[in-house]
Structure 1
Amino acid sequence: MNQLIASLEQKNIFTERLMLVRLLLAISALLTITFNNIEYITNFDLVLNDETKFAAIIFFKQFSIFTLFHPILAKVASILILLIITTGYLPQLTCFLHSWVHLSICNSFLGVDGGDQIASNLSILLIPICLFDNRLNQWKTSKHINTKARKAINVFFNTYYFLILLQVAVIYLHAGIGKLYNNEWRDGTCAYYWFTNNIFGAPSYLQKLYSIITLSSFTPIITWLVIILELGLFACILASNIKLKKIFLIIGLLFHFSILITHGLVTFFFSMASALILYLDDENIIFAFFKTKFISLKNVLQSRSIRRRKKQLA
Structure 2
Amino acid sequence: MSRPPAPPRPSGSPLRAAGRPPVRYPAAGPLLGVGRSLLALAQLLTLLFTSDAELFPGGPRCGGGRLLTLWCLGPPGGAPGARRVLAVLGLLLVISGWLPRWTAVLHWYLTFGLTGTMAVADAGDMAARIGTLLLLPLLLGDPRRWIWTGRLRPPVPAWRGAGRAALLLLRVQVLIVYAQAAGSKLLDPLWRDGTALYYWLHSHYWGLAPALRPLLDPVLANGWSVRALTWTVIVLELGIAGCMLAPGRPRRAAVPAAVLLHGGIALCMGLPGFALTMVGLVLLACADIGPLGPRWRPMHIRCNRAAD
Q: TM-score, normalised by structure 2?
A: 0.77
Unpaired runs of 5+ in structure 2? 1-19, 290-308
Asked if 1:73 corresponds to 2:79, the answer is no
Asked if the contact 1:89–1:138 (Cα under 8 Å) also holds between the matched residues in 2, the reply is yes
Other-structure match for 1:90: 99
Q: Give the Cα separation in 2 of the matches to 1:223 and 1:8.
A: 47
Deviation at 1:90, TM superposition (A): 2.1
Q: Among residues 196, 201, 215, which one is paired with 2:202 in the alignment?
A: 196
Unpaired runs of 5+ in structure 1? 1-5, 46-52, 284-314
Assess, with a 3 A threshold, how the Cα gap between structure 1 residues 169 and 15 changes in structure 2: closer, same or farther. Answer: same
Percent of aligned positions that are identical: 27
Q: Among residues 238, 241, 248, which one is paired with 1:231 in the alignment?
A: 238
Q: Give the Cα separation in 1 of the matches to 2:118 and 2:221.
A: 38
Q: Among residues 128, 136, 141, which one is paired with 2:145 in the alignment?
A: 136
Other-structure match for 1:31: 45
Other-structure match for 1:301: none
Trace 1:217-296 onto structure 2 (pairs within 5 A): 217-218=223-224, 219-240=226-247, 242=249, 244-280=250-286, 282=288
Deviation at 1:255, TM superposition (A): 1.5
Asked if the contact 1:195–1:210 (Cα under 8 Å) also holds between the matched residues in 2, the reply is no
Asked if the contact 2:137–2:166 (Cα under 8 Å) also holds between the matched residues in 1, the reply is no
Aligned residue identity for 1:30:
L
Which is helix-richer, 1 or 2?
1
Aligned residue identity for 1:178:
S
Q: Give the Cα separation in 2 of the matches to 1:154 and 1:241.
A: 18
Assess, with a 3 A threshold, how the Cα gap between structure 1 residues 75 and 235 changes in structure 2: closer, same or farther. Answer: same
Asked if the contact 1:165–1:237 (Cα under 8 Å) also holds between the matched residues in 2, the reply is yes
Assess, with a 3 A threshold, how the Cα gap between structure 1 residues 82 and 241 changes in structure 2: closer, same or farther. Answer: closer
Asked if 1:62 corresponds to 2:67, the answer is yes
Give me the CA root mean square deviation: 2.6
Cα deviation 1:108-160 (Å, max 9, x = unaligned): 11232222221111111101111101112212124255xxx745643442233
Q: TM-score, normalised by structure 1?
A: 0.76
Name the SS of the counterpart of 1:44 in structure 2: coil
Asked if 1:13 corresponds to 2:18, the answer is no
Aligned residue identity for 1:29:
Q
Task: Return the index of the structure with the highest Cα Rg.
Answer: 2
Aligned residue identity for 2:247:
S
Q: Greater relative contact order: 1 or 2 (C-alpha under 8 angstroms, separation 6 or more)?
A: 2
Q: Give the Cα separation in 2 of the matches to 1:207 and 1:86.
A: 35
Other-structure match for 1:163: 169
